[in-house]
């Protein structure tokens, strides 16, 4: 992990309030893996508003070009400032943060379930596994068609996917979690990776309960320091003895066994 600066190569609008930013960084491309994130200073140089850096999952790594990217939704002042940045400007960030996912080499079948902006870390998971010739299915669920822009990336990397929208304006109509519920027996032997809103992860916990499914949640959490020093990102994890211990999403995660996470 290092404090870094990188040139923005692209800051492309991908949908309503959705952007993909490509950043030149040989260091991140050499050292980061799927599931990790960076923490960006969203204010301009010598301006400290907003004062805290913002965490963003690494969406893609293109090692051959020394370029990585983040996918982000404009939600507040920090992300609004990011959306205004142009090609050639420099961003200040720390990374890679968190732990990369270690895949079970013996498994061939993977089901990825992303909800909303939770698809961001899963896209890189999908790309890595697809390149390793694993059998994957990427299920993505959104409220509406605002995320349609990501489809071109899935197609480019030959990821096998299925998109659901709640309002039926794009892809299949309905909830991604309903699809999982209806088809869970078919995919029981798959390795699951999930990321999305807490409500979605809670529904998945209910679906997986008692089924001996191997499922990892990449947890999204508000963060302050991003490096394990402040405990602002702590979540409860139920250990093997049934005791609740607190883990830092930024330092101990962000990936956890979904069945052990206590979602408030
Ligand atoms: Fe400070 Fe995780 S954000 S410990």
Percentage of residues in the chain having pLDDT higher than 90: 84
In angstroms, what CA-CA distances link 179 with 168, 176, 182, 234? 14, 5, 5, 31
87-91's contacts with Cβ under 8 Å and 24+ in sequence apart are 87/8, 87/9, 87/10, 87/11, 88/7, 88/8, 89/7, 89/8, 90/5, 90/6, 90/7, 90/8, 91/5, 91/6, 91/8, 91/21, 91/23, 91/40, 91/41
Q: How confident is the model at residue 105 (pLDDT cuts 50, 70, 90)?
A: confident
Burial of 108 (0-12, 13-18, 19+ CB in 10 A): middle
Atom in ligand 1 nearest the alpha carbon of residue 229: 4
Ligand 1 center from residue 87 Cα (angstroms): 30
174-220 pLDDT, tens digit per residue, is 999 999 999 999 999 999 999 999 999 999 999 999 998 999 999 99
Does 52 have pLDDT greater than 80?
no
The residues, ordered by sequence, that sit 6+ positions from 178 with a Cβ below 8 Å of its Cβ are none
Whether 44 shows a pLDDT value over 70: the answer reads no
pLDDT of amino acid 46: 58
Give the contacts of 23 (CB within 8 A, at least 6 positions apart). Answer: 6, 7, 8, 9, 67, 68, 69, 70, 91, 93
Render pLDDT for 119-173 as a digit per residue (tens, 0 to 9): 999 999 999 999 999 999 999 999 999 998 999 999 998 899 999 999 999 999 9
Lowest mean pLDDT among 72-76, 102-106, 218-222: 102-106
- Please state whether the predicted TM-score (pTM) of the whole model is above 0.85: yes
The predicted pLDDT at position 125 comes to 97
Give 104's pLDDT tier (boundaries 50, 70, 90).
Answer: confident
231 CA closest ligand 1 atom index: 4
Residue 264: the pLDDT is 78
- Give the pLDDT band of residue 31 (cuts 50, 70, 90): very high
pLDDT of amino acid 241: 87
Q: Look at 22 and 77; give whichever has higher pLDDT.
A: 22
Q: For a pocket test of ligand 1, which of 251, 252, 254, 256 has the largest count of ligand atoms closer than 8 A to its C-beta?
A: 251
Task: Identify the CA nearest to 118 among candidates 196, 61, 233, 170.
Answer: 196
- Ligand 1 pocket member 229 (CB < 6 A): yes
8 touches 99 (CB < 8 A): no
Judge contact between 26 and 44, C-beta under 8 A: no
CA-nearest of 214, 180, 23 to 101 is 214
Mean pLDDT check: name the lowest of 51-55, 203-207, 252-256: 51-55
231 lines ligand 1 (CB under 6 A): yes
Domains and their CATH numbers in the chain: 2-96 (2.40.30.10), 101-212 (3.40.50.80), 219-264 (2.10.240.10)
Q: Each residue of 218-247: pLDDT tens digit?
A: 999 989 889 999 999 999 999 888 899 999
Ligand 1 touching residue 224 (CB < 6 A): yes
Q: What is the mean pLDDT of the chain?
A: 93
Q: List Cβ neighbours of 19 (8 Å cut-off, separation of 6 or more).
A: 11, 12, 13, 71, 72, 73, 74, 82, 83
């Amino acid at each position: 992990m290092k404090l870094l600066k990188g040139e923005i190569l692209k800051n492309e609008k991908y949908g309503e309030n959705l952007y993909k930013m490509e950043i030149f960084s040989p260091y991140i491309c050499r050292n980061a893996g799927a599931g990790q994130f960076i923490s960006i200073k969203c204010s301009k140089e010598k301006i400290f508003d907003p004062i805290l850096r913002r965490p963003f999952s690494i969406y893609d790594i293109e090692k051959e070009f020394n370029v990585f990217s983040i996918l982000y939704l404009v939600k507040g002042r920090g992300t609004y400032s990011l959306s205004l940045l142009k090609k050639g400007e420099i961003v200040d960030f720390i990374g890679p943060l968190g732990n990369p996912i270690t895949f079970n080499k013996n498994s061939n079948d993977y089901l990825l379930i992303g909800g909303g902006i939770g698809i961001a870390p899963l896209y890189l998971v999908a790309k890595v596994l697809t390149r390793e010739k694993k059998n994957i299915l990427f299920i993505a669920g959104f409220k509406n068609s605002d995320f349609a822009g990501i489809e071109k990336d899935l197609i480019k990397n030959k990821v096998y996917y299925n998109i659901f929208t709640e309002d039926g304006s794009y892809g299949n109509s309905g909830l991604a979690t309903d699809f999982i519920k209806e088809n869970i027996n078919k995919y029981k032997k798959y390795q699951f990776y999930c990321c999305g809103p807490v409500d979605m992860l809670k529904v998945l916990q209910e679906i997986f309960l008692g089924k001996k499914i191997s499922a990892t949640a990449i947890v999204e959490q508000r963060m302050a320091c991003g490096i394990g020093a402040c405990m602002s990102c702590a979540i409860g994890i139920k250990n093997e003895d049934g005791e609740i211990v607190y883990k830092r999403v930024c330092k101990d995660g962000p990936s956890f066994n979904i069945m052990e996470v206590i979602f408030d």
